[in-house]
Structure 1
Amino acid sequence: MFSIEINSLSKSYGSFTAVDGIDLKVESGKIFGFLGPNGAGKTTTMKMLTTLIPPSSGTMNILGIDGTKSPLEIRKKIGVVLQQPSYEPTLSVEKSLEKYGMMWNVEKKIRKNRVEELLVAFDLVDIRKKKNDDLSIGQRRRVQVAREFMHDMELLFLDEPTVGLDPSARRSLLDFIKSKVKDGLTIFFTTHILEEAEYLCDDIAIINKGKIIAVDTPDELKNKFGRQKTIKIHVGTQQNISSLLSNIENCTIEHDSGVVITIHSGQSEQVLQDVLKILASNHIPVEDLSVVPTSLEEIFLSVVKNSNESNNSPGQ
C-alpha cells in the first residue's frame, strides 16, 4: 500500500519549470527521504503534496485521495513541518503545544497527556514555562516539530526538521521519529545532512533540476553507485610521491605534499597492490593505511554531478 503516488507531476512558474514530470511512490509505514541540492525542486514538490500549491500538470494521490480534487480531505490526515520558523512569540512552550492540540480538536485528557509526553521526548521540560520569544533557535525548532505530534495523522511531511539543532537534540528527534513510524506513521523527509538520511530512511529519492535521478534504498544506492572506495595511506617520509604514482590506472590520487596519500578507485584492491609495490621499491615506509567504503554523501554528490554533466552535454 502506498501513502503517496504521483505521476508526471510538474510545476512551472512562467517559463521556469521547478518540478518536471516526476513519478514517485511512497510506501505506507516507511520513512522516505527526498534529497537534492538547493533549487532542485524539493520544497516545491512538498508544497504540492501538502496541497499548499496546485500542480501545473500530472496527478497525485495522497492517502487514497485525489490531491487536486479534495485538498481539504488530505489536510485533515497529514502533518506538516516546513523549513521556515513558525512559533507563537508570547505563548509558553507548554501553552503552544496545548493550543495546537485544541486547534485539532484533540480531547482534553488526551491533549494533556500528549503535552507531557512531548515535553519529555523533545527535552523541553526545563523550559516549559518559557515564552517562545525567549528561546534559542534550536529550542524553537524543537517546539515547532513537537507540536505537530499533538494530533493524530497518517502522513507527516518534515522539511529540514533538524535545522538549528545540536547533535544530541538531532539524534533524539530522529529516534523519536523512528518510534512513531513503528506505530504506522508514514514520513516524507527532506534533509541536507546525508548522515541523517542514511540513519533514518527506508527509501531515498534524489531530485536535481526538477527531475528524479535516482530512487532506491540507501544500501542499494551504495551497491549501484558506490563501487568506488577511498584509500588513505600515511607514509613516513615526504617525497614527490605524485610523480611516482602517476602511471597507475583506474584511480584518482590526491597527495597533500605532506605524508598523506588519498586514492579514489573502483578497483581498490588492484590499485592498492600497485601503490604498495611502488612505495616499497622506493623505500618509502607506510605508517598507516585504511580503505573506506563510499558514503551516501559521496554517492549523492556523484549522482548530482553526473546528472549536471549529462544535462550540459552537447545535444541536450
Structure 2
Amino acid sequence: MNQSNDKYCISVSNLRKEYGRNKVALDNISFNVEYGKVFGFLGPNGAGKSTTIKILTTLLNPTSGTSHVFGKDITKHAMEIKKKIGVVSQQPSSENNLTVERALDLYGLLWGIEGRKRKDKVNEIIDSFDLQEIRYTKNDELSIGQKRRVQVAREFIHEMDLLFLDEPTVGLDPSARRMLLDYIKNQVKSGLTVFFTTHIMEEAEYLCDELAIINRGRIIAFDTPDGLKHKYSENNIIELKIKDITASSILPMIKTIAIDSQIEIDGLYGFKINSLNSQQVLTKIIESLTKNNIKIESIEIKSPSLEEVFLDIVNDKK
C-alpha cells in the first residue's frame, strides 16, 4: 500500500454539514486516522456517520471545515483520491441479472484491471470470501446475507490504500461475519487503512485500533477500545456466591457494607453488586463474611463491556 508523506491518512478539522437552516448533521467535528489502522466510527442512527463517509469519499460537500485524505484536500483532489479508496455503503448493489462471478469480473473491468490478472483476482476473491457455491448464481436469487457478502467482496477486486466500510456485516451470519473481520485484519497487516462503522460493539473491539463516538453530529468520545472502557466505566460489578446460607439472609449485612452500591440477589446464594469502589467494597465484604464464618463459593469482578460503556456515553451526552 502506498502512503503519503502526510502523517495521517485522514485528517478532519472543524467539519460541518448543514441541511437548510435547522438541520445540523455534523457540528464542527475533528479527528485524525493514522495509516495502516482500523478507525471505528460509532454512533446511534442519525448521529452523522454516513454523512461523514459521504463527505470523505467526495460524494457530498461540507458546509465548512477541512478534510484531507492522503494529505490532499478532498474538495480540490476528488478524482485523485477516488482512485485510491474503496467504499462499501449501506445501499444494496444493483447487478440483479448478473451472476456473482460476472458481477465481480465487471467490477474489475470498471477499475481497469486487465485480462488474466482480473480473472485471477476474481478467483482469489471467490475463494477468500467462500463464494464458490454461489459463483454462478444471479444476484437477485441470493439471500440478503449472500448479497452483502458479495458487495463487500467485490471492493477487494481493486488495489486501494483506504477502505470505507459502512456497517459491512449487516445481514451476515456469525461465521461470515468473523471471516470478513479476519480478512480485513489481514489486509490491514499489508498496509490498508480502514474507516469502519458498526452497531456491533464486539466487532469494534475485535477490529478497531481507535474509536470515535459521534452523537447528534458531535464527537463525544475518542480513544482505543480499552481506553474508552477504562476512562468512561465508573462502576465494576462484583459477582459473589456464598455457601450453606441464602443470599437473602445476609442482605442487610451486605447493604451496610456496600452503602452506595446497587445490590441484586442473583439466585439462591449469589449477589451482583454494582459498585464505584469495587475493590474496597469487596475487601470489606470478605472481611465481614470471614468474621461471621460464612463460606465463599466464588468471587469475580467484571468490568462493563464496550457496549455498556457506549450506551452510557451516548445517553449521558443526549
**Pairing 1:297–2:307 present:** yes
| Structure 2 contact 47–214 (Cα < 8 Å) conserved | yes
Q: Does 1:10 align with 2:12?
A: no
| 3-state secondary structure, aligned to 1:149 | helix
Aligned-partner SS, 2:255: coil
Q: Name the residue aligned to 2:53.
A: 46
Question: Distance between the aligned counterparts of 1:173 and 1:165, measured in 2?
Answer: 9
Q: TM-score, normalised by structure 2?
A: 0.89
- Residue 192 (structure 1) aligned with residue 199 (structure 2): yes
Identical residues among aligned pairs (%): 54
**Pair 1:152-2:162 in alignment:** no
| Mapped partners of 1:32, 1:95: distance in 2 | 32
Gap change, CA 1:87 and 1:261, over 3 Å in 2: farther
Match for 1:264: what amino acid?
N
Does structure 2 retain, via aligned residues, the 8 Å contact 1:208–1:304? Answer: yes
- The 5 Å alignment of 1:137-216 reads 137-216=144-223
Structure 1, unmatched stretches of 5+, are: 309-316
The Cα shift of 1:87 comes to 3.9
Q: Which consecutive residues of structure 2, in runs of 5 or more, have no partner in the other structure?
A: 1-6
Specify the SS of the correspondent of 2:41: strand
Residue 112 of structure 1 corresponds to 119
Q: Secondary structure at the match of 2:165?
A: strand
Aligned with 2:248 (options 215, 225, 239): 239
Of 67, 70, 88 in structure 1, the residue corresponding to residue 77 of structure 2 is 70
Q: 1:246 to 1:84 in 2, by over 3 A?
A: farther
Counterpart amino acid of residue 306 in structure 1: D
Q: Mapping of 1:221-236 within 5 angstroms?
A: 221-226=228-233, 228-235=235-242
Contact kept in structure 2, 1:250 and 1:271, CA below 8 Å? no
Distance 1:243 1:46 in 2: 54
Q: Distance in 2 between matches of 1:242 and 1:302?
A: 28
Counterpart contact for 2:58–2:78, Cα < 8 Å: yes
Q: Do the aligned partners of residues 286 and 33 (structure 1) sit closer, same or farther apart at CA in structure 2, a change above 3 Å counting?
A: same
Question: Counterpart of 1:179 in structure 2: which amino acid?
Answer: N
Letter paired with 2:75: T
Q: Structure 1 CA distance, aligned partners of 2:183 and 2:252?
A: 52
More off after superposition, 283-292 vs 101-110: 283-292
Q: Using the alignment, how far apart are the partners of 1:82 and 1:259 within structure 2? A: 50
CA contact (8 A) 1:155 1:186 kept: yes
> Normalized against structure 1, the TM-score is what?
0.90
Query: Quick check: 2:167–2:198 contact (8 Å CA) kept in 1?
Result: yes
CA drift of 1:289 comes to: 2.8
Q: Which amino acid aligns with 2:309?
A: I
Query: Which residue is equivalent to 2:31?
Result: 24
Distance in 1 (alpha carbons) for counterparts of 2:250 and 2:151: 53
Which residue number in structure 2 is paired with residue 313 of structure 1? Answer: none
* Native 8 Å contact 1:250 1:267 kept in 2: no
- The Cα offsets for residues 43-69 of structure 1, whole Å up to 9 and x where unpaired, read as 111111111111111111112221122
SS of corresponding position for 2:157: coil
Q: In the aligned structure 2, how far is the partner of 1:142 from the partner of 1:261?
A: 44
Give CA deviations for 1:67-109 in whole Å, capped at 9, x if unaligned. 1223222222211001222241111111111111011111222
Contact 1:87 1:144 in 2 (8 A): no
- Give the structure 2 partner of residue 265 of structure 1: 275
CA separation in 2, counterparts of 1:22 and 1:185?
24
Query: RMSD value over aligned CA atoms?
Result: 2.1
CA distance in 1 between partners of 2:114 and 2:241 (Å)? 63
Q: Note the C-alpha offset of 1:250.
A: 4.3
Q: Is the 8 A contact 1:87 1:140 kept in 2?
A: no
Question: Aligned-pair distance for 1:264?
Answer: 2.0
- The one-letter code of the counterpart of 1:2 is Y
In 1, Cα distance between equivalents of 2:316 and 2:251: 27
Distance 1:180 1:249, change over 3 A: same
**Aligned amino acid, residue 254 of structure 1:** E
Contact 1:19 1:209 in 2 (8 A): yes
Residues 49 and 75 of structure 1: CA distance in aligned 2, closer, same or farther (over 3 Å): same
| Partner residue, 1:96 | 103
